[in-house]
Structure 1
């Protein structure tokens, strides 16, 4: 998934004052692997954004259903994932389809491409470029993510491209935000995070959560290395990565791949816990001839406990904070053929608004374009790498929420376009949620989400989690 998101329409200067960028061993570039599918449905709920290298995934993704389900042009009286809606609910679902199409019409023709692609590491120091087709660039800003240091660049005379003025710095994570307009003045936006290469003899780890942040009780520590760690050296690398907390919980690492190590306790963090991540990787071997360079300590705080349970059968979400129910919210989950994953999911990012395009996950028309491309989708919070979000829905009839499942796998909550009204149910949930909060989905006919799909290792038993440690 990413990312070009249509968020915060604040224009920034195209060029910045030149300053020296210092090496960044900061947090993880977001992972955005796309899930492809040939299944199609007319109702809209998948999120996508334009990001480095083209459109990348920010899409609602549940388990994809059969061709028979895909052939259904609109939800029928039995198309709910869990129950037969009433006649009025079916009418609302059909009305939503029409509103989906209307919402997709006012989309900018400007398409921004940022290179390198979002979430990538090991990129060259002269490989960065921003281009646009179908419009002109109005703003481009680039900065080192850890320090906020601006990177100066030059916009072409025709406002079709932008490049940094000088080579980038090694082992640094950067963020680019770009804006553009088409001939009708309709805005487009894109944001990408990527990291530059280290020397061929060095490796670094990009981590989340951020230093000094406050997170929910489900937030694991997740480290993505820019070079593979060979199995023979994983124990040494894992031993050099320690996570401690002042509540005394045991924290154990689990290798999801040669480049990803997550660490968590057996149960959710205790509220109010202070956690320290220490990386003592300097001189530690990852593979023959490749050694770590980091010696760094990061601290974060666990906030209050908030666990929200989505029941796809009752179409309700119950929000529990510190053991007390504080609100019950009507929702609409994934419809037949596009059901929402079951299981425990962790909010990994929040966007006030974003852009959703069905083409990024295979929901296309005969011309290859997305069945929908919706700007200004409000209050979007990511639950998986493959595209599961919980987000506001301004185009659906209000009667859908709490009544029928109509989405492509996301969890939709009633909202208004642009997300600027704080009184909608989606705005309330967004404003009362933080990265690291847990959202549990139950009673969906779909499978349990894979632990590696997002920050969702809680779906693995403790025994299996510990078995994935190189130190076990």
Structure 2
């Protein structure tokens, strides 16, 4: 063998042996191997050290990252276990900050303002464990959109004092098909202990009342627990609210279109009798129990808005400063002051287009007129019972006038 061939042979043998050694090392070898076994032990020590450096604090953000149709009431809560919160930031996608508060024990956080519908929010939270090691969590979610949610506009308002006839009336901005589910989320109770039942007039309106008028001095509580309740397919409630109102003195007024006199009673006793002028024979006033739903010291009344027009389509009347007007129906029945009629008509002849008129002064600035007195001594929710007009009884849903249904009829309209 020449010297060149011998060198090439040794190189090949060396490469072959090297390959065997590499294969032997990759296959693990025996436990007595000196180099690579030591590297495994070193890596385990690194992993253990890294674990010891990780925070034990565990942060949970509700709702989960990427959620849609999130609640505007109960979303964006941040809680931590095995640690305490050190910082929470919440913003809208345009960077607007949302204020919030960390609890006294630093275990939770929530917004201090009402969230908006159809808005995407981002939450970042930092917490520390007992060793001071930090943990971080992030989430983004979108609240329920108006098209996918419903709200109920209710009356009376929180904290008000109303008359004994005032029902709780809720008008929903979406048609409700799951009436039972929604009604179960609405609770009305009274300190008088009276049973309260709810009645659906249609898919958008539900009123609640007791069998008889509310008891004087009672406190009524309305609870709306509608957050997340499916009112219709894909449409969810967003309200979570408690409202209380008080029942004032018991005042019921009786209007007699035949005698053309109005008797105002409190606790069943007559406190004043006032001459009136009701609807004319051609435009009779509705009969029945009506509830004052609005009060206006002065308001405009145009016949065109309630169907009284002349041949040119103009209103048969247009009075821009009707004094001391109180609404009794949605369709336009009022009990109000009248300064344009002669004083002689009150108590003697019915001349109106369907309203009940009381003698009054232009400008609503004379406190001594019957119209001013009745206005000053009336409140939202007072009952006005109109009798002997010769017209039909007002529809129960025309205003807040559900008292014109029997208790049995009323409860028959409940969904639960």
Task: State TM-score, norm by structure 1.
Answer: 0.58
Of 302, 311, 333 in structure 2, the residue corresponding to residue 388 of structure 1 is 333
For the pair 1:445 / 2:390, whether they are aligned, the reply is yes
Q: Which secondary structure does the structure 2 equivalent of 1:237 belong to?
A: helix
Structure 1 residue 353 displacement after superposition: 0.2
CA RMSD, Structure 1 to Structure 2 (Å): 1.6
Structure 2 matches for 1:217-256, cutoff 5 A?
217-230=164-177, 233-256=178-201
- Alignment correspondent of 2:238: 293
Q: 1:357 to 1:283 in 2, by over 3 A?
A: same
- Alignment correspondent of 1:211: 158
Structure 1 residue 337 displacement after superposition: 1.7
- Alignment correspondent of 2:369: 424
Structure 2 matches for 1:81-230, cutoff 5 A?
199-230=146-177
- Alignment correspondent of 1:311: 256
Q: How many angstroms apart in 2 are the aligned matches of 1:252 and 1:409? A: 31
Q: Which secondary structure does the structure 1 equivalent of 2:146 belong to?
A: coil
Matched residue count: 278
- Alignment correspondent of 2:226: 281
Structure 1 residue 170 displacement after superposition: 5.9
Deviations 1:395-418 (A, max 9, x none): 000000000000010000000011
Structure 2 matches for 1:27-106, cutoff 5 A?
none
Structure 1 residue 198 displacement after superposition: 5.8
Structure 1 residue 371 displacement after superposition: 2.0
Q: Does the 8 Å contact 1:340/1:444 carry over to 2?
A: yes
Of 301, 309, 324 in structure 2, the residue corresponding to residue 379 of structure 1 is 324
Structure 1 residue 281 displacement after superposition: 0.1
Of 367, 382, 399 in structure 2, the residue corresponding to residue 454 of structure 1 is 399
Deviations 1:308-352 (A, max 9, x none): 000000000000011211000000000012100110000000000
Q: How many angstroms apart in 1 are the aligned matches of 2:308 and 2:412? A: 38
Higher relative contact order by CA 8 Å / sep ≥ 6: 1 or 2? 1
Deviations 1:56-93 (A, max 9, x none): xxxxxxxxxxxxxxxxxxxxxxxxxxxxxxxxxxxxxx
Deviations 1:246-305 (A, max 9, x none): 010010000000000000000000000001000000010111101101110001000000
Q: 1:461 to 1:198 in 2, by over 3 A?
A: farther
- Alignment correspondent of 2:103: none
Q: How many angstroms apart in 2 are the aligned matches of 1:304 and 1:244? A: 19
Structure 1 residue 201 displacement after superposition: 1.0
Q: How many angstroms apart in 2 are the aligned matches of 1:198 and 1:246? A: 37
Q: How many angstroms apart in 1 are the aligned matches of 2:378 and 2:145? A: 36
Structure 1 residue 362 displacement after superposition: 2.5
Q: Which secondary structure does the structure 2 equivalent of 1:338 belong to?
A: coil
Of 343, 364, 372 in structure 2, the residue corresponding to residue 398 of structure 1 is 343
Structure 2 matches for 1:325-336, cutoff 5 A?
325-336=270-281
- Alignment correspondent of 1:351: 296
Q: Does the 8 Å contact 1:394/1:414 carry over to 2?
A: yes
Q: Which secondary structure does the structure 2 equivalent of 1:257 belong to?
A: coil
Q: Which secondary structure does the structure 1 equivalent of 2:221 belong to?
A: strand
For the pair 1:337 / 2:251, whether they are aligned, the reply is no
Q: How many angstroms apart in 2 are the aligned matches of 1:209 and 1:303? A: 13
Q: Which secondary structure does the structure 2 equivalent of 1:219 belong to?
A: coil
Structure 1 residue 365 displacement after superposition: 2.5
Q: Which secondary structure does the structure 1 equivalent of 2:408 belong to?
A: helix
For the pair 1:463 / 2:408, whether they are aligned, the reply is yes
Of 396, 407, 411 in structure 1, the residue corresponding to residue 356 of structure 2 is 411
- Alignment correspondent of 2:52: none
Higher helix share: 2
Q: Which secondary structure does the structure 2 equivalent of 1:458 belong to?
A: helix
Q: How many angstroms apart in 1 are the aligned matches of 2:278 and 2:182? A: 41
Q: How many angstroms apart in 1 are the aligned matches of 2:306 and 2:384? A: 23
Q: Does the 8 Å contact 1:198/1:204 carry over to 2?
A: no
Task: State TM-score, norm by structure 2.
Answer: 0.65
Misfit runs of 4+, over 3 Å: none
Q: How many angstroms apart in 2 are the aligned matches of 1:263 and 1:365? A: 40
Q: How many angstroms apart in 2 are the aligned matches of 1:305 and 1:374? A: 32
Deviations 1:430-469 (A, max 9, x none): 0000000000011110011110110000000000000000
